[in-house]
Amino acid sequence: MPTTPEELEQIADAPHAEADDLAGTFALQGNPAPRPQAELDEILQKPGFGVHFADYMARATWTADAGWHDKQIVPYGPLSLDPAGAVLHYGQEVFEGLKAYVHDDGSLWTFRPAYNAARLNFSNYRLAIPELPVDDFLASIVDVVRANARWVPAKEGASLYLRPYIFASEAFLGVRAAAKYEYLCIASPAGPYFPNGFTPINVWVEQDFHRAGPGGMGAVKTGGNYAASLLPKVTAAREHYDEVLFLDAATNTNLDEFGGMNVFVVYADGRVRTPRLTGNILPGNTRSCIMQLLRRRGVDVAEDTLALADVIAGIKSGEVSEMFACGTAAVVTAVGSLTGADFKVELPTHEVSQSVYDELTGIQAGKVDDEFGWLYRIG
Ligand code: COI
């Protein structure tokens, strides 16, 4: 299983099986009650984020004797889980996020899915969960998107958000890696992640709590990291902040990441920096692609240690011109202000953030040349 961010890049960029060769790996079961078309049309006009769920989901089970088996596309609906199911007690769970798009000619696509397949296994490794083969991951994406094709919104800026995840389902209360796991992939039509769209977000810089610490799970996509971000988020939301920026747990001085997104800092001299992957920071697919897009433009972009004090001083002096958040769900969202216990600074400019958003979403929508070969055709 991949254990370094470099391996995620290698797996993402290697050749992979095509959709037609993988299709049908997850056997389609009929849905007796698909969403009526008129209701669906209304949902697709204003999908929001993560509130409506498509007719079908992918599922599979892992046991030691049979490995991953029982791969199916089934109607979306409640799961049956033993109250002693290990995930409910010890949080042995990992997840991913990626999106499907429909292009103007009606073709269906997703974006660099092998990166997500590799990162799921990167997370699986850290949580002692069995590996899901890349081809099974890709097949589940192909099969779930094909089954839910009418749920992929055609509206500009919208997509079908895919949420693959694995959790420990063995009924057992001892603290050890479970002997049974479930894989699922659900699908949800998505508009902008933040309700105000590209409107710059107001950020609270958290200096009392951390989302992850050295040797912990900060680099992998597991629910616990997001759970750790919620109390600061609730407190910040009371003061009308849109998002929380976390500092590194070791020194409480350097930028780590937002509650669920990576961070970039843009300087007035044109250079762009993002925190280096210290082991506490999620190696974001969007983060990786943005660095590659900026490098192709000839921008000096690099990973670095970014001290909060330097960033604040840079914003005050004009040396820092922009900051933005990025992730699959949020794509690219400009930061309008940063506030902490004893400071508040504003970032009025968002040109680079906007141009990165335009280029990335243009590639995803099939309107800008996909020079890197990131698009993967589903159907
Ligand atoms: C994503 O960007 O896909 C995530 O999983 C993060 C979450 C904030 C939705």
Kindly indicate the confidence band of residue 317, based on its pLDDT and cuts at 50, 70 and 90. very high
Give the Å distance between the CA of 174 and the centre of ligand 1.
Answer: 31
Q: Which residue's CA lies nearest to atom 5 of ligand 1?
A: 97
Q: Which residue's CA lies nearest to atom 7 of ligand 1?
A: 260
Cα Dmax for the chain: 62
Answer yes or no: is the C-beta of 164 below 6 A from any ligand 1 atom: no
Answer yes or no: is the C-beta of 333 below 6 A from any ligand 1 atom: no
* Ligand 1 atom at minimum distance from 49 CA: 9
Give the Å distance between the CA of 7 and the centre of ligand 1.
Answer: 21
Kindly indicate the confidence band of residue 321, based on its pLDDT and cuts at 50, 70 and 90. very high
For residue range 39-98, what is the model confidence (pLDDT) as tens digits?
999 999 999 999 999 999 999 999 999 999 999 999 999 999 999 999 999 999 999 999
CA atoms lying within 13 Å on the CB side of residue 88: 11
User: Which pLDDT score is estimated for 17?
Assistant: 98
For residue range 259-292, what is the model confidence (pLDDT) as tens digits?
999 999 999 999 999 999 999 999 999 999 999 9
According to CATH, where is 3.20.10.10 located in the chain?
201-358
* Ligand 1 atom at minimum distance from 260 CA: 8
118 pLDDT exceeds 80? yes
* Ligand 1 atom at minimum distance from 328 CA: 2
The Cα–Cα gap between 257 and 245 comes to 6
User: Which pLDDT score is estimated for 31?
Assistant: 87
197 pLDDT exceeds 80? no
Reduce the DSSP state of residue 128 to 3 states and report it: coil
Give the Å distance between the CA of 154 and the centre of ligand 1.
Answer: 21
pLDDT above 70 coverage of the chain, percent: 100
Give the Å distance between the CA of 288 and the centre of ligand 1.
Answer: 15
The encoded tokens of residue 368 equal 């800008």
Closest by CA position to 321, among listed 305, 299, 341, 340: 299
User: Which pLDDT score is estimated for 198?
Assistant: 75
CATH of span 5-192: 3.30.470.10
Answer yes or no: is the C-beta of 329 below 6 A from any ligand 1 atom: yes
pLDDT, mean over the chain: 97
Q: Which stretches does DSSP call E strand in 42-90?
A: 56-63, 67-75
Q: Among 162, 230, 261, which residue has the most ligand 1 atoms within 8 Å of its CB, making it the best to mutate?
A: 261
35 pLDDT exceeds 80? yes
Q: Which residues contact 116 (CB under 8 A, 6 or more apart)?
A: 96, 97, 98, 137, 164, 285
pLDDT above 90 coverage of the chain, percent: 96
CA distance to 5, 10, 65, 129, 222, per residue, from 176 (Å): 26, 31, 18, 11, 17
Provide mean pLDDT across the span 112-116: 98
Q: Which residue's CA lies nearest to atom 3 of ligand 1?
A: 97
CATH of span 201-358: 3.20.10.10
Q: Among 288, 328, 333, 364, which residue has the most ligand 1 atoms within 8 Å of its CB, making it the best to mutate?
A: 328
Report yes or no on whether pTM surpasses 0.85: yes
According to CATH, where is 3.30.470.10 located in the chain?
5-192
Q: Among 193, 287, 333, 360, which residue has the most ligand 1 atoms within 8 Å of its CB, making it the best to mutate?
A: 193
For residue range 300-310, what is the model confidence (pLDDT) as tens digits?
999 999 999 99
Give the Å distance between the CA of 29 and the centre of ligand 1.
Answer: 29
User: Which pLDDT score is estimated for 166?
Assistant: 98
Closest by CA position to 332, among listed 284, 294, 286: 286
* Ligand 1 atom at minimum distance from 329 CA: 2
For residue range 124-183, what is the model confidence (pLDDT) as tens digits?
999 999 999 999 999 999 999 999 999 999 999 999 999 999 999 999 999 999 999 999
CA distance to 190, 247, 342, per residue, from 309 (Å): 36, 11, 11
User: Which pLDDT score is estimated for 356?
Assistant: 97
User: Which pLDDT score is estimated for 3?
Assistant: 96
Contact 222, 126 (CB under 8 A): yes
The Cα–Cα gap between 122 and 369 comes to 30
Answer yes or no: is the C-beta of 97 below 6 A from any ligand 1 atom: yes
Answer yes or no: is the C-beta of 229 below 6 A from any ligand 1 atom: no
Residue 60 sits at the vertex; the CA angle it makes with 55 and 64, to the nearest 5 degrees, is 165
